[in-house]
Amino acid sequence: MLYGHIAVGFAAKPLAPNVKLGYLLVAATAIDVLCGVFLLAGIEGVDAGGASFIPWSHGLFMAGVWPLLGFTLAFLLTRNGRTGLIIGALVFSHWVLDFISHPMGMGQKLPPDLPLLFGGSPKVGLGLYNSLPAALVTEFGIFIAGILVYLLRTRARDRLGRRALGVLILFIFLLALPAAFPNFEFVPTLALILLLPLGNWVDRHRTLVASNTGAGADQADVIS
């Protein structure tokens, strides 16, 4: 799952009005960024049969550690517990969605690939994406829903605010292309990191539509 994770970052914007979109997108995809780094370092890998060894990025134990680090970093920057919890929840949401979707056989039935602990520990995964039709419907359904939440809760400040969002969405669609080249793990990792400046650029030209509850009004405006 790629677009689904990014969609969660978009949908989180109303909950974190003073956190720029780029940070929300990076938090939601952080585990995949880490996976790319670990693949490059040889710490994790994928064999010729498609079986994955990804305990440091996608193992359940580490999926509890990375959100804690995300919470801590966000809290240190903002001194706001709500912001820290949102960032931590976005990081952990990645593993929850992967648990539903992995393994990603895309028409090929693969065994579970999400370890509970480290190497040699039991692996889990409901395997929704072993079905190609289910993968396509779920992936793009979640992505469209996330974009709609962001669109409905924000409006463009200027003409660039409308065009910039289109540029970001196009860039996100292109993210999947490097995945066709398994020997170039650094390409998707760098592409995901680019979500930070691009997301923040979009957010600078859009403003959140105020809700009648005023949720998030007391947040510190430091992750901006």
Per domain, the residue ranges of the chain are 3-208
Q: Average pLDDT of 39-63? A: 82
* Residue 212 predicted with pLDDT over 60: no
What sign for the dihedral angle of Cα 35, 40, 45, 48? positive
| Of 183 and 83, more confident | 83
92-107 pLDDT, tens per residue?
A: 999 999 999 988 877 7
Q: Give the pLDDT confidence score for residue 221 in this predicted structure.
A: 44
**CB–CB of 161/205 below 8 Å?**
yes
pLDDT band at 215 (very low <50, low <70, confident <90, very high): very low
* DSSP-assigned letters across all residues of 34-66: HHHHHHHHTSSEE-TTS-EE-HHHH-HHHHHHH
pTM score = 0.86
Alpha carbons 43 and 36: distance in angstroms, whole number: 10
* Residue 115 predicted with pLDDT over 50: yes
pLDDT band at 91 (very low <50, low <70, confident <90, very high): very high
**CB–CB of 86/94 below 8 Å?**
no
**CB–CB of 216/18 below 8 Å?**
yes
